[in-house]
Amino acid sequence: MSKTASKPKKAVAKAKDAEASLVPIFVMGKRYEVPASLTIQKALEYAGYQLVRGCGCRGGICGACGTVYRFPGSYRIEVGLACQTVVQPEMYIAQLPFFPGNKAVYDIETLPAVGGTIAALYPEVFKCVGCGTCTRSCPMDIDVMGYISKAIQGDLTAVAQSSFDCVMCGLCAARCPAEEVQYNIGILARRLYARHLAPKAKHLAEAVKNVEGKKFDKALQELKKKDLEALKKIYKSLEIEPDMADESWTPTDKSFLGE
């Protein structure tokens, strides 16, 4: 086997300091001792796993590392993101790196932005039994059952807003007795809402018109021709919008604006 070039030494050195307090964990039933300060993700690596599945951003936003665990003496299945959850002694861990959830295929442009669209694409939404398992399973503390019930009512705006923090980890879907794929319902609602229901940014349309009309091309050509000193001078003299200014702020010097 060849070595990979330039191996980072960092994680290794860190693990050393913490060796003093090792705790036992069970990875898919097998016992390992790992430093108590590590997240589940780093603990798996410490135990000797080279992660391929179940590891993406390492920062709690990509949803690749959904994990289920349980403590001895308890029947409760708990869940979390492996990169965000610190190990605890005696936890039994299994990762859930992939969930074969159903996703509808659609054309966002022509899809009607009405409540019935969710039901049309995901008719199983009506099978929700209101058990609340999804809400209890969500590592992002989202009221998942709440947005599914809004989906049943056809309230796209509410679904869009309340599912906004979803990292699409699939933990809710994995445990849902009604086989909902909540996160795909969430993104459908968000896209429909943002595309068709949210108020349009009119200033954006104007800005697009300006650049399409090549309104700044001349000014930019001239800037590009400027020598370094001249450019620096202009840069230094730019009027800066104050931090505390509100939306209505406009610069005193109106040259080179889009209006």
Is residue 74 helix, strand or coil? Answer: coil
Residues 6 or more apart from 202 whose CB is under 8 A from it? none
Q: Which is nearest to 66 in space by CA: 36, 98, 44?
A: 98
Residue 63 tokens read as 């949803």
CA nearest 54: which of 72, 34, 28, 30? 28
CA atoms within 13 A on the CB side of 83: 18
User: What is the closest distance, in whole angstroms, from the C-beta atom of residue 88 to ligand SF4 in the complex?
Assistant: 20
**d(Cα 53, Cα 26) in Å, to the nearest integer?**
18
Residue 211 interacting entry, from ligand SF4, another protein, ligand FES, none, C-beta within 5 to 8 Å by type:
another protein
Alpha-carbon gap, residue 127 to 193, rounded angstroms: 24
Taking the complex as a whole, the smallest distance from the CB of residue 127 to another protein amounts, in Å, to: 23
Of residues 34-93, those binding ligand FES (CB under 6 A): 55-58, 60-65, 81-83
Contact 178, 152 (CB under 8 A): no
Name the residue among 70, 68, 30 with its Cα closest to residue 49. 30
User: Considering only residues 198-257, where is the footprint of another protein by CB under 8 A?
Assistant: 198-208, 210-212, 215-217, 219-220, 223-224, 228, 231-232, 234-236, 238-245, 247, 249-251, 256-257
Q: What is the smallest separation between the CB atom of 187 and ligand FES, expressed in angstroms? A: 16
> Using CB under 6 A, which of 44, 145, 185, 189 touches ligand SF4?
145
**Residue 227's binding partner, choosing from ligand SF4, another protein, ligand FES, none, with beta-carbon cut-off 5 to 8 A by kind?**
none
Site for ligand SF4 in 173-202 (CB under 6 A): 176-178, 180, 182-183
Binding of another protein at residue 160 (CB under 8 A)?
A: yes
How far apart are the C-alpha atoms of 237 and 156, rounded to whole Å? Answer: 47
Question: Per rule CB under 6 A, is residue 131 in the interface with ligand FES?
Answer: no
3-state secondary structure of 150: helix
DSSP state of 111: S
12 in contact with another protein (CB under 8 A): yes
Least distance between ligand SF4 and beta carbon 229 (Å): 52
Residue 25 binding partner per list ligand SF4, another protein, ligand FES, none, with a CB distance cut-off of 5 to 8 Å that depends on partner kind? none
- Residues lying near ligand SF4 in the complex (CB under 6 A) are found at 128-134, 137-138, 140, 142, 144-145, 148, 166-172, 176-178, 180, 182-183
- Residues lying near ligand FES in the complex (CB under 6 A) are found at 55-58, 60-65, 81-83, 167
